[in-house]
């Protein structure tokens, strides 16, 4: 596969401006706003401090992975929802294990 450069000539009577798809600053600001909005929604549903820490960590992990993709604004919400669900399941499992362990210790 070989690449060839093509010369394109535009009329001189008008200006031609090609804007980038997104400027980096705009994309970062929009991504951070999206991350904070989604994170605050999930934290509002959380009652445990331990789960809050896990949800924040899940948010950071999802953001770091989403940022490496071509469309981080599209990837982040779904990825974060998956990570947050996994953390909630793990926290529930941990609470059940702790409750069973406490009952075992009380009987000794």
Output the pLDDT for position 74: 93
Backbone angles phi, psi at 6, to 5 degrees: -120, 130
Delimit the domains of the chain by residue range.
24-107
CA–CA dist 77, 4 (Å, integer): 39
> Could you tell me if 41 and 81 are in contact, meaning their C-beta atoms sit under 8 angstroms apart?
no
Hey, which of 11-15, 29-33, 42-46 has the most confident mean pLDDT? 29-33
Averaged pLDDT for residues 53-66: 95
pTM exceeds cut of 0.85: no
CA–CA dist 92, 2 (Å, integer): 56
Distance set, CA 54 to CA 2, 46, 49, 85, 95 (Å): 49, 10, 9, 10, 14
């Amino acid at each position: 596969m070989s690449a060839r450069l093509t010369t394109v000539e535009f009329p001189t009577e008008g200006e031609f401006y090609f804007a980038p798809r997104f400027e980096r600053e705009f994309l970062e600001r929009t991504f951070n706003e999206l991350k904070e909005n989604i994170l605050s929604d999930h934290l509002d549903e959380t009652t445990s401090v331990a789960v809050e820490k896990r949800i924040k960590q899940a948010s950071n992990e999802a953001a770091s992975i989403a940022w490496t993709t071509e469309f981080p604004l599209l990837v982040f919400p779904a990825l974060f929802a998956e990570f947050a669900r996994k953390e909630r399941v793990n926290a529930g499992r941990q609470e059940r294990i702790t409750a069973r362990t406490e009952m075992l210790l009380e009987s000794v």
